[in-house]
Structure 1
């Protein structure tokens, strides 16, 4: 009994320290408490990784008051209908200090069950030590039971998920700093958003909605790659576009799993200010994606990527040779809009040339030193 009291007091103290770091006027603290998305924070440095903080939405979801939660491990939400394989996956992710997104059946205080779309991410300090786990829950029981039987139910579920995803994004984007975790914050936010989009794409029965979500996911993952490149680089003030472009074209084309696409590259290091990393990454992503949509995905062909710095200018060129196919006009219009918008943002010029089966798109801009 004394051990339980001591453990609970330790968890309460950890929660109090966390609150002290985030006063009431802190946007993150306010968003965490007010959002309708159930959320908790645990402390892996204490025995059994206890809950040290939870919001009202989590109490509303589970039926447990805040003082019943502090100091307890989250396994008390498990019950007879909880899948043991899912529990094992969660335990492995926590022991390895990595993020996980998983669907699991949990039990409320009154014994009733709910389907929980669970997202868990570790938070690291500057020394690389895991100091917290941040977990959010999404009750999608109604959607699971109804299985999206009607279009009305589908639209309602999509709207609810979109609204809650927006709340989570705002909460994560509003000065999220449990500790001095600037480098990892942006990357973790993008990974969480990507997990939500992947989950919704997997659950939806509407092919149009699924296509749209995967399109969003493609661009989110491009931005996530940018953050990984920035924050694993020794020079975080500058971004090597050539290095990023190499990885992107290999990943995008490799995901098509076609042996009839030939990739060639002519790359030279081009370092640009980190502030331009995101729009330039999206420019490369749109150029490669456009080539894929116009024929490489369907009939194969050749794609040549050039990134270099001739005559004081920065050049990105994608040259593809393929048998053209009909392109979804909405995808094509949106891709061009994305490309033009990003080019305006970095004051770049676009030049497109078509020579039979060959399409050449060049983007040029001045390089800031």
Structure 2
């Protein structure tokens, strides 16, 4: 008890010496006492770094009187729920003589808690020795409570979102399974149709009929390519025209089996709504098929395919350079009708140019940019 009293007297004496070092008119000392911000000074050169001075705001915040605070270490404000890791950080910073700013749960004299925004800084003499520690505090319990309320509300919102997301994902999974089941059946039907046409062509002796069947087969395979492209992508609502054309044209030319056909592609990535996929596939198939029928399959030549975006439109251009031959009139007429029907379905325009052995066909289609981005 006597030892405690002695330390209390030493701490108070140190505080009085600190105040005595300032004249009454010292505005900084006056501000320290009068400010509404709780402040204390501790003396690290005394045992246990006791409080040697505190202002009235600190007394009001903690509920302790001046006599109860002087000579005590600030740990008297700690309690069962105080974070020990934060306490260790404070001890470590004081031992190192460094500034520290932390938020810590403290206890008042009556046992109630408050959140304390604590800032501690060493005060050094002219030789750099630490003679005091200055600490300011701020009770931000109200802010912390609001943060807790917001965190709770956010947690409830996140739970609601997670629940709704799970329900949507379940619905999407069901829809996806249904779509892929339909896709599977469509592909099987297209394969069945292709097999029937191939078998019929194999047994047909008439060359004209065989060519007609093969043109039908090409169109079925073009549709099969579209179907495969649509349902091997994560986003089945959009269709990459360039990617599709690359595969379709390459397969068409490769199927001819001629080394004297030179194929070049200039394809810019372009996504369009999936509903446009089928007519676009038929347009490309007819354009390339027409080039092949007019001489590429007989005398070789060059074919160049371009896909390009043009200010709200996109263009498919097929150029071929070959020694033309006279195609079958009925097949050419049917192909022309199919091409025009597909173009009308897309509200597309067709422009044809012929210069000697070079022929150019351009199909221009308007693309709703909003629809392209959203789908």
Q: TM-score, normalised by structure 1?
A: 0.51
Determine helix, strand or coil for the equivalent of 2:311.
Answer: helix
Gaps of 5+ in 1: 1-125, 128-176
User: Offset at 1:178?
Assistant: 10
For residues 305-316 of structure 1, the aligned pairs below 5 Å read 305-316=305-316
Aligned to 2:202: 202
CA distance in 1, matches of 2:277, 2:271: 10
Change (3 A) 1:317 1:178: closer
Work out the CA distance in 2 between the residues paired with 1:180 and 1:361: 36
Instruction: Give 1:272 deviation, angstroms.
Output: 1.1
Q: Distance in 2 between matches of 1:243 and 1:283?
A: 15
- Counterpart CA distance in 2 for 1:324 and 1:366 is 32
- Name the counterpart of 1:274: 274
1:349 aligned residue: 349
The aligned runs of 1:93-132 (5 Å cut-off) are none
Q: 1:164-313 residue pairs with structure 2 within 5 A?
A: 181-313=181-313
Task: List per-residue Cα deviations over 1:2-56 (Å, max 9, x = no partner).
Answer: xxxxxxxxxxxxxxxxxxxxxxxxxxxxxxxxxxxxxxxxxxxxxxxxxxxxxxx
Which consecutive unaligned segments of at least 5 residues does structure 2 have?
1-171
How much has 1:309 moved relative to structure 2?
0.9
Deviation, 1:179, is 11
RMSD: 2.1
Cα distance change of structure 1 residues 206 and 357 upon mapping to structure 2, 3 Å threshold: closer
Aligned length: 195
Cα distance in 1, alignment partners of residues 179 and 356 from structure 2:
56
SS of the residue 2:327 aligns to: coil
User: In the TM superposition, what is the alpha-carbon distance from 1:267 to its structure 2 partner?
Assistant: 0.3
Offset of 1:358 from its aligned partner? 0.5
**In 1: Cα distance, 2:237 partner to 2:178 partner:** 24
Q: Take 1:178 and 1:353, find their aligned partners in 2: how far apart are those partners?
A: 45
How far residue 205 of structure 1 moved from its aligned partner, in angstroms, is 2.9
Q: Secondary structure at the match of 2:278?
A: helix
| Change beyond 3 A, Cα 1:354–1:178 | closer
Greater RCO, CA 8 A, separation 6+: 1
SS state of the match for residue 326, structure 2? coil
Query: Are residues 179 and 332 of structure 1, via their aligned partners in 2, closer, same or farther at CA, if it must alter by over 3 Å?
Result: closer
Change (3 A) 1:181 1:349: same
Q: Distance in 2 between matches of 1:205 and 1:199?
A: 12
Q: How does 1:321-332 map to 2 (within 5 A)?
A: 321-332=321-332
CA apart distance, 1:252 = 0.8
SS of the residue corresponding to residue 186 of structure 1 reads helix
Deviations 1:131-160 (A, max 9, x none): xxxxxxxxxxxxxxxxxxxxxxxxxxxxxx
Query: Relative to structure 1, is the Cα distance of residues 179 and 322 closer, same or farther in structure 2, using a 3 angstrom cutoff?
Result: closer
Specify whether residues 341 and 178 from structure 1 end up closer, same or farther in structure 2 by C-alpha distance, changes over 3 A only: closer
Counterpart-to-counterpart distance in 1, 2:180 and 2:223: 22
> Using the alignment, how far apart are the partners of 1:182 and 1:191 within structure 2?
14
> 2: CA distance between counterparts of 1:314 and 1:325?
31
Q: Which residue of 2 aligns with 1:339?
A: 339
Residues 180 and 231 of structure 2 are in contact (CA less than 8 Å); yes or no, is this contact kept in structure 1?
A: no
Q: Distance in 2 between matches of 1:200 and 1:287?
A: 25
Superposition map of 1:74-93 within 5 A: none
Q: 1:181 aligns to what SS in structure 2?
A: helix
The answer to whether the 8 A contact 2:283-2:342 is kept is yes
Aligned to 1:137: none
Aligned equivalents of 1:295, 1:201: Cα separation in 2:
22
Deviation per residue, 1:267-290 (Å, 9 max, x gap): 011111111110000000000001
State whether residues 222 and 248 of structure 2, in contact with CA within 8 Å, keep that contact through their aligned partners in structure 1: yes
Q: Which structure's CA Rg is the greater one?
A: 2
Flag the 1:263–1:335 CA change in 2: closer, same or farther, 3 A: same
Offset, 1:216: 1.0
CA distance in 2, matches of 1:357, 1:207: 27
Q: Under a length normalisation based on structure 2, what TM-score does the superposition of the two structures give?
A: 0.50
